[in-house]
A = this chain, B = another copy of it.
Amino acid sequence: MSASSIEAAAASGVRIPPQSGTSFVLHRGDVLRIVDPCGEQVADLYAFALEDHACALSSGRSLDYAGKLFLSVGDRLYANDSSVLFTIVADTVGRHDFTLTPCSQEMFERLYGVTEHHPSCFENLVTALRGHGVRPEQIGTTFNVFMHVAFDESGRIDVRCPLSRAGDSVELRAERDLLCGLTACSAENSNNGTLKPIDFEILRAG
């Protein structure tokens, strides 16, 4: 994708620069459209009920209710109290991860031997959500949009190149008022070695 077409893609929404994150509020009925402007780039999403942060996105509940690991159009993302936070209403990729925690400084140290500071989705979510009163321990397993994780029958986890191409997107409808955190993922290994931006826009209800 050329630089100019990336600029055009970003014009209608908000660009999250590489290895960074942001936070925003969705009201019930709003649709969050997450776009991979360059291709092969992961975006980590976490969310809380706006008025009650004890109600937070839950991978375990969502996978249990869906009866599958890979969520796409028509599937719902649930909170720890079993309320519905999102419904996936569009998805041009169809492969996302909901089993792994956001990348963190400790992950880069443990898995890749990093010894210096490394930007991470966890740190970026903590920073983006801190001003809303969210504590680090409240940020659980993220919905890792475009992240391509495969599992074989033995359970071995294989992090692969995202299937998303430039312009691919996923749309999630908010089923209640939500505080969201969203990142352009910082992990080289999850993004085919290059760290790119993520775009998003909010299609307001009504």
Q: Which residues on A are within 8 Å of B, measured CB to CB?
A: 54-56, 58-61, 63-70, 80-82, 99-101, 104, 106-107, 110-111, 135-137, 140-141, 150-157
A111 contacts which of B55, B65, B80, B154 (Cβ < 8 Å)?
A: B65
Residues in chain B near residue A100, CB distance under 8 A: 60, 63-64
The list of the 9 closest CB pairs from A to B, nearest first, reads A60-B101, A82-B106, A69-B155, A60-B141, A70-B155, A54-B137, A68-B155, A64-B100, A61-B101
Copies in the complex: 2
Sample 23 A-B pairs with CB under 8 A, ordered by A number. A54-B136, A55-B137, A58-B101, A59-B60, A59-B99, A60-B99, A60-B101, A61-B107, A63-B99, A63-B157, A64-B107, A64-B111, A65-B107, A67-B157, A68-B157, A69-B157, A81-B106, A81-B136, A82-B107, A82-B110, A140-B140, A151-B151, A151-B155
Having A60-B141, A64-B101, one finds 19 other A-B pairs with CB under 8 Å, namely A54-B136, A54-B137, A59-B59, A59-B99, A63-B99, A63-B157, A66-B157, A68-B157, A69-B151, A69-B155, A69-B156, A69-B157, A70-B154, A81-B136, A82-B107, A82-B110, A99-B99, A151-B151, A152-B153
Could you tell me the distance between the alpha carbons of A137 and B99 in the complex, rounded to whole angstroms?
Answer: 19
Could you tell me the distance between the alpha carbons of A104 and B83 in the complex, rounded to whole angstroms?
Answer: 13
| Smallest CB separation, A149 vs chain B (Å) | 10
A140 contacts which of B60, B135, B153 (Cβ < 8 Å)?
A: B60
Residues in chain B near residue A101, CB distance under 8 A: 58, 60-61, 64, 80
CB <8 Å contact, B137 and A56: yes
Could you tell me the distance between the alpha carbons of A145 and B100 in the complex, rounded to whole angstroms?
Answer: 20
Residues in chain B near residue A66, CB distance under 8 A: 157
Could you tell me the distance between the alpha carbons of A110 and B80 in the complex, rounded to whole angstroms?
Answer: 14
| Smallest CB separation, A84 vs chain B (Å) | 10
Could you tell me the distance between the alpha carbons of A137 and B135 in the complex, rounded to whole angstroms?
Answer: 13
